[in-house]
Structure 1
Amino acid sequence: MERAHNILELIRQEPGKFRLIDLSKRLDLNKSSMFVLLHTLEELGWVSKDSNDAYSLGHVLGVLGHAFVGQFDLEARFREEAGKSRDMLGETLQLAKLEGDQVLYLAKVEAPSRVKLVSEPGMRFPAHATALGKALLAWQPREGLEDVLGERLEELTPNTVKSRAVLIAQLEAIRSSGFATEEQESVMGFCCVAAPILDSGGAAVAAVSASIPLHKWEESAERAKEEIVSLAERLSTALHPVD
């Protein structure tokens, strides 16, 4: 990995200048080893070769760089838009993304309350036990779900879904409805509604949720569902604005 990093750093500094022999000399690496490394990087789309056999950075690095910057733009846009939804609902809203079988919390807009949620930006929770996680899992390819979920579903509360078959059925319903809910599956005393943020290709890159105390759930659930779906749609549009 260090060798690949050094190659990319040289190409970044002077794109379109170095050929295989140049990189081999600059990095003191024999030509056969350099050939293998460059071939792999080219196959991955990390570098590209022009008609003079000189190398530049590849399109995949551009995509990754755009995604890196975009995640911070999304967090900023979330705080702006979620503030309006928080004021409308009077509840705390969160933004998260999927990492394996976990949700990683990215940002939080809190409503004034004596009761605070245990989840904070930077924390991870099992995806199957949260509305955020279910909203994200529902947009994952079906064939890869079993690998993502593993053999056993961790039980956080007595209400946490324990069966993978039941969870898969829930995810299909979530995909149809456009939102996910959970009632005291991650934390007792709280219910949540979440919806996915979709990129231009229809992939779920993140999700937003509203957390509602159990005693307010029955009266607030429908309005929360509508607002969270609307918030997710506004954030999705921000990722691929319509001309």
Structure 2
Amino acid sequence: MERKYWVPALERAQDVLQLVAAGPSKLKLMDLSAATGINKSTMFSLLHTMETLNWVIKEKGDTYALGSFFGMIGNAYFSGMSLVKLFEEKASRSVERLGETIQLGRLEKGELVYLAKKEGATQVRLISEPGMRLPAYATAMGKVLLAARADKQVLSYYEEGSFQSYTPNTVQSGEELLVQLRIARENGYAVDQEEVVLGFCCIAMPILDRNGESIAAVSCSMPVHQWTVKQDLAKQEMKLLAHALSAVF
């Protein structure tokens, strides 16, 4: 590409962002300066500007992580993803049969990132939107994807005492989480029983690539009064939908 109109500051910012994305909450100003060759004064200005723009956030230990800006623009990116497009096509049948909301998500470290959602014919609207993130341990999709990881890797995502309680049913410790993941491995699916929002339950199944590795998950969420009526049908539909989306990529 011709560099006649190149903006070096943007290139430097991209280099910093790539490092922060690869090692969230690990790198300080000095680390980023050493890794990029950008002097400390310039690095300070870059980070200050990016922090103001919410491109990065500075954490307690003076390390950096990506900021909320990338979540805000993520929806445009997700809409162009082939898996999302296939989900939009395939999920309609399940939504029709269940009358409930179906969601697609993937795991990023210890967080569940929502990629897409198809609303059911219900007056109750879920808070999840594409680009939104929640701790994986609190969600059915997050847990079914964590279940594919080794226990040691799962525990590395969370510090004891850092588990956020969304409801009284939310996982409170690594030990409790591992128990739920063992159940998820045995069942082949995971559930959220009023763990994120009181009054709502959810069931999730993993989407597998050609190597049998979990790459994403689908879930069905519904009010708890529908759970006893539709739980078995939801499990069946999520299994069919996950299978339809698996081994395609």
Counterpart of 1:38 in structure 2 is none
Shift of 1:143: 2.5
Shift of 1:117: 0.3
Q: 2 CA distance for matches of 1:127 and 1:150?
A: 14
Counterpart of 2:187 in structure 1 is 177
2:116 partner amino acid: A
Secondary structure at 1:238 match in 2? coil
Does structure 1 residue 209 correspond to structure 2 residue 219? yes
Does structure 1 residue 148 correspond to structure 2 residue 164? no
Q: TM-score, normalised by structure 2?
A: 0.66
Shift of 1:154: 1.2
Deviation digits for residues 103-153 of structure 1, max 9, x if unmatched? 110000001221100111111111101101101111113331111133221
Any stretches of 5+ residues in structure 2 without a counterpart? 1-10, 16-76
Q: For the Cα contact (< 8 Å) 1:190–1:212, is it kept in 2? A: yes
Residues 198 and 150 (structure 1), Cα distance of their counterparts in 2 relative to 1, 3 Å cut: farther
Counterpart of 1:196 in structure 2 is 206
Counterpart of 2:101 in structure 1 is 92
Counterpart of 2:47 in structure 1 is none
Deviation digits for residues 203-230 of structure 1, max 9, x if unmatched? 2111000001111111111111111012
Question: What is the aligned-residue RMSD (CA, Å)?
Answer: 2.2
Does structure 1 residue 131 correspond to structure 2 residue 140? yes
Shift of 1:161: 1.4
Shift of 1:85: 0.7
Matches within 5 A, 1:17-28: none
2:157 partner amino acid: V
Q: 2 CA distance for matches of 1:221 and 1:209?
A: 12
Counterpart of 1:107 in structure 2 is 116
Secondary structure at 2:113 match in 1? strand
Counterpart of 1:79 in structure 2 is 88
Any stretches of 5+ residues in structure 1 without a counterpart? 7-67
Q: 1 CA distance for matches of 2:210 and 2:186?
A: 19
Secondary structure at 2:246 match in 1? helix
Secondary structure at 2:170 match in 1? coil
- Number of residues paired by the alignment? 177
Task: After the TM superposition, list the runs of 4 or more consecutive aligned residues in structure 1 that deviate by more than 4 angstroms.
Answer: none
Secondary structure at 1:88 match in 2? helix
